[in-house]
Amino acid sequence: MKSVQEARADAQAIFRAGIARVDPVAMVQRAVTIVAGDSGPRLLASAGGVEAAYDLSRYDRVFATGMGKATARMAAGLEHALGDRLSGGLIAVKKGHAEPLSRIRTMEAGHPLPDDSSVAAAQAILDLGASMGTRLTERDLVIVLVSGGGSSILCAPAEGLSLEDKIATTKLLLASGANINEINCVRKHLSAVKGGRLAAALAPATVLTLVLSDVVGDDLDAIASGPTVPDPTSYKDAQEILARYGIADRLPSGVARRIASGVAASAGSPSETPKPGDPIFSLSKTVLIGTNKLAVQAAAEEAGKRGYATLALSSRVTGESREVAQVFLGIGKDMAASGMPLTSPACVIAGGETTVTLKGNGKGGRNQEMALAFLASLGRAPKDGERLVFLSGGTDGNDGPTDAAGAIADVDLLATAREAGINPEAALANNDAYTFFDSVGGLIKTGPTNTNVCDIQVLIAR
């Protein structure tokens, strides 16, 4: 039987294999090719059974733009795929997530909360033609690179709202336990760029959007708040979400007025986001090039190579982090005790995106919280889980507002905590997973990976 240390090393290698599979450079190069056509070269974008084709003789220029944590590496892949056919471009990425690019200019902006640089980036991309030195025409093809984090990185407050209004609202949503689809529904109705409004701003150019998904279920309108796709949600939906999580009465006054006015839909009310069937999308196509499912499958393949019976359980894990941890612990105990669903040595891989409802004032993220909840429960009956190693990490390398991707939990770390007099239950009650794991050596630090397809969980039964 492998030692805890060996299983811990395996878990990290399995996690990193999942990240490597969704490297944005490789994803774009797989998806975008130039082929010969009857009238000249054609650009093909194809992934997951969806294909978009463009006769490049119809366009005088090809520009790139986009936003998100993974967008710089997506842009590097696009530069490699298109070469000198790319006329230029402008992207916005999270601070510290830039890549060397030769034809595409990069602006760095705030995440997980927007800042002044997020507003500047949004304005520059909304005015892409001016940023490129001339207005866009029907003879332009604009390739929009979208990845997770774009909702914060690109921030254009709607008329009557300020950056401070957006920041305050985002903080309330992030702390409420709302999922990313719900958060982005509200964001879209407070924005001049989200919810399809960027597609309108880029007209009359043809728009091709390449998407790397960080949203469970891969809903295109939720990824980076869907800047170039139709928005099926409404002001009424946003109002119901704010009420559901008990934050409607804590909103900035301008936000509350905008939502109420949009729901009323009376004269002078703010316009709705563009909906399915809107003519502005007639020149716009979207191709989803990377997902959490691909990362989970690659992680499972690596686990198999390392000698584990392997199950890729799901790419749609959601819910409160500390509650999801109990599910993984239960699965692990069954594997160790009775070989259900797999006989050990075994490894279960899953992915998705959980949430944390903040009750304390500690530091951490959803993956660290999940690992801490797993460890705290393990501490109540350590013998039942002495053969288990559990890792939860974000594929982007950043878990919440920390420099860790996530954390790992096992009996050795539990013993270290007890020897040091550190109580995992107390840390969990204060949402202080980072401080706990930093003290016992359980943090997973990859640095920025410049990709982003939600989270990966690795559960090993030795």
Percentage of the residues of the chain whose pLDDT score is greater than 90: 94
Q: What is the pLDDT, as a whole number, of residue 288?
A: 98
Taking the domains of the chain in order of start, what are their residue ranges?
4-16+293-461, 23-156+191-233+273-290
pLDDT in tens, 81-95: 999 999 999 999 999
pLDDT value for 351: 98
Q: Residue 37 pLDDT > 90, yes or no?
A: no
Would you say 35 and 54 are in contact if contact means Cβ atoms under 8 Å apart? Answer: no
User: What CATH number labels 4-16+293-461?
Assistant: 3.40.1480.10
The two structure tokens encoding residue 418: 């007890």
Q: 49-107, pLDDT tens digit by residue?
A: 999 999 999 999 999 999 999 999 999 999 999 999 999 999 999 999 999 999 999 99
The chain-wide mean pLDDT, for the chain, equals: 96
pLDDT attached to residue 189: 97
Mean pLDDT along residues 358-366:
96
Is the CA virtual torsion 146, 291, 222, 115 positive or negative? negative
Confidence (pLDDT) at 435: 98
pLDDT score, position 146: 98
Question: What value does the mean pLDDT take over residues 381-394?
Answer: 90
Q: Considering the chain, what percentage of its residues have pLDDT values greater than 70?
A: 100
> For residue range 109-145, what is the model confidence (pLDDT) as tens digits?
999 899 999 999 999 999 998 888 889 999 999 999 9
- Please answer whether residues 140 and 106 qualify as being in contact, where contact means their C-beta atoms are separated by less than 8 angstroms: no
Question: What does the pLDDT read at residue 39?
Answer: 83
CATH number assigned to the domain with residue range 23-156+191-233+273-290, chosen from the 4 options 3.80.10.10, 3.40.50.920, 3.90.226.10, 3.40.50.10180: 3.40.50.10180
* pLDDT reading at 350 higher than 90: yes
How far apart are alpha carbons 86 and 143 in whole angstroms? 10
Convert 165-204 to b/e letters by CB count within 10 Å (16 or more is b): bbbbbbebbbebbbbbbbbbbbbbbbbbbbbbbbbbbbbe
Measured in Å, how far apart are the chain's first and last C-alpha atoms? 6
2-15 pLDDT, tens digit per residue, is: 999 999 999 999 99
Q: In what order do the strands lie in the sheet with 140-147?
A: 104-109, 88-94, 61-67, 140-147, 206-212, 284-290
Q: What is the pLDDT of residue 327?
A: 98
Residue 385 has pLDDT above 90, yes or no: no
Q: Please check the confidence at residue 393 and state whether its pLDDT lies above 90.
A: yes
Supply the pLDDT for residue 27. 97
> What is the per-residue pLDDT for 130?
86
Give the per-residue pLDDT at 57. 95
Most confident of 129-138, 170-179, 297-306: 297-306
